[in-house]
Amino acid sequence: MDRMHELVDELNRLAKAYYEHDASPKSDAEYDALFDELVLLEKETGIVLPDSPTHRVGGKPLSEFEEHTHIRRLWSLDKVKTFGDLSEWAEKCGQNEQFILEYKFDGLTINLTYDDGRLVYAATRGNGIVGEGITAQAKTIRSIPLSVPYKGKFEVRGECYMRISVLNELNRTSSEPLKNPRNAAAGAIRNLDPAVTRSRRLDFTAYDVGYIEGRSFKTQAEMLAFLRGNGLPVNDFCFFGGIADVLREISSAEERRFTLDFDIDGMVIKLNDMELAERLGYTDRFPRGAIAFKFAAEEQTTVVRDITWEVGRTGKLTPLAHVEPVELMGATVRKATLNNYDDIKRKRVGIGSTVFIRRSNDVIPEILSSVDDGEPENPVTPPTRCPFCGAHIEQRGAHIFCTNSLSCTPQIVARLAHFASRDAMDIEGFSEKTAELLINETGLRNIPELYELTTRSFHGLAGFGDKRIANILGAIEKSKDCELASFIFALGIPNVGIKTARDIANHFLTLSRFRACTRDELVALKDVGEIVADSILGFIGDASLSAQIDKLLALGVSPREVKKGEDAKPLDGKTLVVTGTLERLDRRSIEALIESLGGHAAGSVSRKTDYVVAGENAGSKFQKANELGIKVLTEKEFFELIGE
């Protein structure tokens, strides 16, 4: 046993020197000889020490990933692309604060759990609350220590990535080349066979302690020192300073990004003062004390083969370029956007043009400009009629619109689908396909006609049996009793999203007061500027649209008045399910609180559930909520929702 301990300690020391300090105290042959000796000893004794490097070889392939609930939620980061926006964020954090700047690795986030000095679990980020268990895969990554000095339980967040040099080396011998480092790392981590993970030779960098037992950190610097002291590799670029210095260093990092042996797609900026960051709190998705600065997206060239015109729910025609397939940031790109016809002319794009395209944040790529000199040989001309319904085209500013708002199928389909969506009228089972079928087969032409549908309207439609017909008619009927904010959002007013709709509802309280609003009242609302105010006034002042609202009301649609004052209850009409272990209240107490605030505390998750409140070790109810697309709240988010 003494020799086994010696070998394990020596091999782990050599691995630490190699991965943390780029040092090689022994040759590969000497390392391999020590490793082989350890393997032989383990076979002879049947004993494998917990921190033995043989755990990294990769064992039997798994049949499936198991779910793992993180002790503390993993948050996403809000993103900015300009120094102006970053400076504005920094001002909100406070005057003269110190920040830490780190590389934003383009890899895969994983969460490591250590207990009693051992790596006991590893999981993917998942949805931030529950991830996939990847312990066997993580143990094959040599830069992840299997044992640490600290004996308390703690969670480490970090990025798993593949070095570019490793990718190039693997692709020289691979029969099926890997596309890019990020996809290669993600594919290796989420492979059920740990041996595949090991063969990819991944790296890991720790950047956060999400949970720790027995101590806390006042600053990021203190936390990073803890990580280093426990043998966890941290960002090899780390800069502390004021926001002016941070901006300068970001510019420098962007210039050298292509000299690095790994991909970064930006920089992460955090408040060094962790106590202040915690006091600043969180939005629904992001911590307020940290943010990501995104570098300019990668570019590629390709050839335009065709340009078609797509019609949206407002009737606006948007050009869509169909291009020669090209690999860009890990995806095969076949389509790219252009804003309008002026954009096509300005960028000198025609059929057959070679163009620069850019892809950012996984959205459809944008054409930046033509590579070719001069005007295109085959220029594009704007349509004179709607390509879908043949109606007259109208120019409004820089954009062109189909004037047939009454019977242009793509417009009506998009409007109906938006009206029925979850944040709007929440008509369960009503999709774009359903809308298109009703338009084409029954002649449905406007939103109020939804509430005039009968069982007979669906007879003979493909896929509609008696039960499905009854369900969708029931959902339409149920939607008549709706929140004012949902109804305002459902109307599809240009530039009015769900948040603005809620702000409007909470200010005007009733639909009638909203419909009588003035421009000054609207502009006075937070986040409602002059453009949004004009959009709203133009919509509610349109005679035909106003008539449709009147018809909806006549057909029984009844947006509820927003309650204010002592009688208002934040959970009125909401169904919530509580699951997992909660810190602030036990389950029975929190369910009683839900009932006292006007909500219904249900015992099981169904499509009628509005929220699931998930504590630690949430189980099947949490899983079902994800399957049904139901919003999951942490305990903290629940108390924020009810205003405590």
Q: Tokens 């099981």 sit at which residue?
A: 604
Q: Tokens 């909660």 sit at which residue?
A: 582
Length of the chain in residues, anyone?
Answer: 644
In whole angstroms, give the CA distance from residue 161 to residue 183.
9
**Relative orientation angle of helices 432-442 and 409-420, to the nearest 10 degrees:** 130
In whole angstroms, give the CA distance from residue 632 to residue 499.
18
CA 81 to chain centre: 17
In whole angstroms, give the CA distance from residue 31 to residue 629.
50
Beta bridge partners of 316: 401
As given in the structure block, the two tokens for residue 184 are: 């290669």
Residue 467, classified by CB atoms within 10 Å of its CB into exposed (0-12), middle (13-18) or buried (19+), is: exposed
As given in the structure block, the two tokens for residue 228 are: 């280093």
In whole angstroms, give the CA distance from residue 601 to residue 588.
10
In whole angstroms, give the CA distance from residue 37 to residue 58.
18
Three-class SS of residue 439?
helix
- Catalytic member of 92, 104, 139, 563: 104
Residue 158, classified by CB atoms within 10 Å of its CB into exposed (0-12), middle (13-18) or buried (19+), is: buried
Q: How is residue 55 annotated by DSSP? A: G
Three-class SS of residue 133?
strand
* 129 phi/psi in degrees, rounded to 5: -110, -40
Cβ contacts of residue 554 below 8 Å, gap of 6+?
none
From 458, 457, 447, select the one nearest 557 (Cα to Cα).
Answer: 447
From 282, 157, 153, select the one nearest 634 (Cα to Cα).
Answer: 282
- Taking a C-beta distance cutoff of 8 angstroms, is the pair 624, 632 a contact? no
Q: How is residue 282 annotated by DSSP? A: B
In whole angstroms, give the CA distance from residue 309 to residue 317.
6
218 is catalytic: no
- Taking a C-beta distance cutoff of 8 angstroms, is the pair 549, 491 a contact? yes
Q: Tokens 């990021």 sit at which residue?
A: 220
- Residues marked active site are found at 104
